Copies of this chain bind each other. A is one copy, B any other.
């Protein structure tokens, strides 16, 4: 595992990627899921990318090496990988869009299971200090903290999907 400093430049070295691929094979074997050529290449594609591709992009990338791959397999594999917690989904991507009429700066507690979202306030979190490297990427206009966890209902096992 690398330290924060070493990872800063977003460059992924071969060792790191090979380690990820090993944990992928282990993870799949452990739950008795077959390690197919397609799945391996889909995961490799993702492990190699430091940006955050959507299924279509993963599909196009993998197709260069596995021309017969189908988009559905990409979708299915990505979903399995999320279920196995080998990758994550970017942002709180719930089924439907949800809106926030609260314009003043605030932060969110989000339940990772049902999506329940509640506001909280802490002015010190509205403008957190961001590493200098990020300033090369663009202009930061503010920061938002997301506290992730499980809501009381879901802790009790009563929560439904995407509430």
- Residues of A bordering B, CB below 8 Å: 1-2, 4, 7-8, 10, 20, 43, 46-47, 49-56, 58, 78, 81-82, 85-94, 96-104, 106, 108-112, 116-123, 125, 128, 130-131, 133-134, 136-152, 154-155
Contacts and interface: CB of A to CB of B under 8 A. Distances in A.
Contacts of A10: 118-119
Among A104, A133, A144, the one with the most B-chain Cβ atoms within 10 Å of its Cβ is: A144
B134 A140 contact: no
B147 A120 contact: no
B145 A141 contact: no
A84 to B, nearest CB: 11
A141 B137 contact: no
A97 B46 CA distance: 14
Contact of A138 (B89, B139, B142, B155): B155
A99 to B, nearest CB: 5
B96 A49 contact: no
B138 A149 contact: yes
A143 B138 contact: no
A49 to B, nearest CB: 7
A18 B143 CA distance: 28
B130 A141 contact: no
Contact of A99 (B88, B92, B142): B88
B120 A130 contact: yes
